[in-house]
Amino acid sequence: MRYVTSRPGTTPVVLDSPHSGTWYPDDFGHACDLAVLRRAEDTHVEKLYDFAPGLGVGWVEAHFPRSYLDVNRNLTELDETLLDAPWPDPLEAGAKVRLGKGLVWRLTDDGVPLYARQLTVEEVQRRIECCWRPYHEALAQQVQAAHQRHGYCIHINCHSMPGVAASHATEFPGMEHPDFVIGDRDGTTAHPALTRWMADYLQAQGHSVHINHPYKGVEIVRRHGLPSQHRHSIQLEVNRRLYMDEVTLEPHEGFGPLKLLLLDFVRELLSLDPRRL
């Protein structure tokens, strides 16, 4: 199994799915039940957007789970208490690390410990080399190529979120999520007019939308968004209740209509030049 799939496009739009991976590597060594771990997946997000290559839209997808290695974290966001020896590089203890959701997860969304052991420095470094670096290199190449072709790039970082935030999922436990959350890190990774256009489009289809709450976007959009140079990077969260049973993880009758909505949404993006907004 490959860790990362990258399908280059021909348009100015690039999509990526960093958290929908369902392949659990043999060296994971987790202690908690697999069914508990699987609740952390952005399950089926890659299927919701599988139309992307057919539209000429660039696509990058992680096949490993976010609980194994979260590519939406900086390499400095590592909880050193997980390790059996000091980490050789700089570290920072941000909000995600405190929640147990750093580069390597310590806790599930419900606060269940992932490991009954300490990890070696070498195995974490191996995960970085196999997962984190290839993912970000593939996405950077696609964003750069789209920008070179068209003079601008619209990158959508594709995620899903639970209907209600669990105890260790975010800094807002128990929050009932809207249908969509659009994150541009308070206007720093995309032009606010583009973010507003996206919100207006989804609201016009009858959906509830929040901007930058409770998800502003994290490392991926931070690394790849530079609106002053016409590189727009936006995190888009879709509420799982719209398309799947959150207990069984099976798609329900809402999957098809949501996929059609996202298809129309991406088609509209393809006809949009944010330099003219």
Residue with tokens 């670096």: 133
Query: What letter would DSSP give residue 65?
Result: -
Instruction: Please report, for the chain, the start and end positions of each structural domain, with discontinuous segments joined by +.
Output: 4-71+134-272
17-34 pLDDT, tens digit each: 999 999 999 999 999 999
Global pTM?
0.96
Residues 250 and 141: their CA atoms lie apart, in Å, by 33
Q: What pLDDT sits at residue 277? A: 85
109-156 pLDDT, tens digit each: 889 999 999 999 999 999 999 999 999 999 999 999 999 999 999 999
| Both tokens assigned to 104 | 């390597």
Q: In what order do the strands lie in the sheet with 13-17?
A: 4-7, 58-62, 13-17, 153-161, 231-239, 180-183, 209-211
Residues 117 and 14: their CA atoms lie apart, in Å, by 39
Q: Does the domain at residues 4-71+134-272 carry the CATH identifier 3.40.630.40?
A: yes
> Has residue 224 got a pLDDT over 90?
yes
Q: How confident is the model at residue 179 (pLDDT cuts 50, 70, 90)?
A: very high
Q: In 3-state terms, what secondary structure has residue 99?
A: coil
* b/e burial code for range 145-178 (CB count within 10 A of at least 16 → b): bbbeebebbbbbbbbbbbeebbebbbeeeebebb
Q: Which helix (H) or strand (E) is 209 found in, with range? A: strand 209-211
23-78 pLDDT, tens digit each: 999 999 999 999 999 999 999 999 999 999 999 999 999 999 999 999 999 999 99
